[in-house]
Chain A
């Protein structure tokens, strides 16, 4: 299951988090930087993906710029009703992901819909289905993150 990443693998994972140039042979420059052939880079990227170290290689889209609407939501779910409420919440296809967190507000999920109006409608439906209040935390501003995993 686990294999040790070589120094080269780590360099490659770090390098692949940079923005790659939109050119015919995007892996060639990485190969030049790391002292490998273009084909070596392609093979290594595929291996890292197949081994699960990388989830995806390609363009990352700004989902809102494509026209969708998103909203972080939270609920305070009584312990003894948790599984029942979870089933009702997750039944909505608009719930994109959902996390249990260690707080009084213990269920945090993201609604992803075609329009802003659908966010409100879905939240109301979930309140109706569960009898619990859904708090909405729409993003007011997103701050640029320079995050990268240091592999």
Chain B
């Protein structure tokens, strides 16, 4: 993966969002002093490299009424955790799904799946669906509801390196 100066400039110019006009890429290209075709080609390349995951909109969970969020955590047999993690991730209500290391003895869970919902009850129902999917491979589980946002900064993606 290589990012040249122009790619960096594209990332810098678009990470806060695209202008909401009929031809957003033409507007960005003009500010970057490149043609729209070059910009689109470079964006396609960034996408094929996995640097761009998708082009679209992020819904605001809270504004849409999804005020409850629970981090469900699971102790899964290491032999099957990757296979099951794929299945948990593909559930339509799981927003993030990761395998992480245990921190024994205080933390036995190796699979983390974030679940959002309109209420804790709804999140718990979704948690139960994950439990059904995991079946006997799950040795223990817990769910940690967030009670307060203590800090939230926009993720600053550095476009200055390279």
Residues of A within 8 A of B79 (CB): none
- Tell me whether chain B's interface is mostly helix, strand or loop, or mixed: mixed
User: Using a CB-CB cutoff of 8 Å, which residues 55-106 of chain A contact chain B?
Assistant: 55-63, 65-68, 72, 74, 76, 86, 90, 95-105
B46 nearest CB across to chain A (Å): 8
Count the A-B residue pairs with Cβ separation under 8 angstroms: how many?
230
Q: Does A24 have its Cβ within 8 Å of any Cβ on chain B?
A: yes
When chains A and B are docked, how far (Å) is the Cα of A95 from the Cα of B153?
Answer: 8
A83 nearest CB across to chain B (Å): 10
Residues of B within 8 A of A20 (CB): 54-56
Question: Would you give the 0/1 interface string for B71-114, flagging 1 where the beta carbon is closer than 8 Å to chain A?
Answer: 10000000000100110111011111111110100110000100
A67-B158 in contact (CB<8A): yes
When chains A and B are docked, how far (Å) is the Cα of A130 from the Cα of B116?
Answer: 31
Contacting residue for A138 out of B22, B51, B101, CB 8 A = B101
Residues of B within 8 A of A102 (CB): 144-145, 147
Residues of A within 8 A of B85 (CB): 141, 143
A23-B40 in contact (CB<8A): yes
**Of A23, A65, A146, which is in contact with the most chain B CB atoms at under 10 Å from its CB?**
A65
Contacting residue for A146 out of B20, B92, B162, CB 8 A = B92
A-contacting residues of B (Cβ < 8 Å)?
Answer: 1, 3, 11, 14-18, 20-26, 36, 40, 43-44, 46-47, 49-61, 63-64, 66, 71, 82, 85-86, 88-90, 92-101, 103, 106-107, 112, 116, 142, 144-153, 155-159, 161-162
